[in-house]
Chains A and B, each alone.
Chain A
Amino acid sequence: MRTIWIWLPLGLFLAFVGLFASGLFKPDDRVIHSRLVGQPLPAFTLPAAASDRPALASSDLATGKPRLLNIFASWCVPCAAEAPQLMALKQAGVAIDAIAIRDARPDVDGFLRRYGNPYARIGLDARSGVQIALGSSGVPETFVIDGRGRIAYQHIGDIRADDVPMLLARLRDAQ
Chain B
Amino acid sequence: MKLILALLLALLAAPVAAQTALPPAPWADRQIPDAAQERRARALMETIRCLTCQSQSIADSNASMAGDMRSQIRERIMAGEQPESIRAWLIARYGDWVSYEPTAAPILWPLWAAPLLLLGLGLLLLRGRIKRRRGA
Contact = CB atoms under 8 A, between A and B. Distances in A.
A37 to B, nearest CB: 11
Interface string A124-149: 00111101111101100000000000
Nearest to A78: B18
B8 to A, nearest CB: 22
Contact of A132 (B17, B20, B68, B95): B68
A15 to B, nearest CB: 13
A134 B91 CA distance: 12
A76 interface: yes
A131 B25 CA distance: 14
Contact of A5 (B92, B93, B125): B125
A172 interface: no
A34 B95 CA distance: 8
B129 to A, nearest CB: 12
Nearest to A128: B68
B18 A132 contact: no
Interface residues of B, number: 24
Given A5-B125, A35-B94, A36-B93, A138 B17 contact: yes
Interface in A2-49: 5, 32-36
A103 B52 contact: no
Nearest to A30: B54
B99 interface: no
Contact of A34 (B19, B71, B94): B94
B92 A103 contact: no
A75 B17 contact: no
A127 B94 contact: no
B72 interface: yes
A104 interface: yes
Interface of A: 5, 32-36, 73, 75-77, 101-104, 107, 126-129, 131-135, 137-138
23 contacts: A32-B51, A32-B95, A35-B95, A75-B21, A101-B20, A102-B68, A104-B22, A126-B22, A126-B25, A127-B25, A127-B68, A127-B72, A128-B25, A129-B72, A132-B65, A132-B68, A132-B72, A132-B93, A134-B93, A135-B94, A137-B65, A138-B52, A138-B65
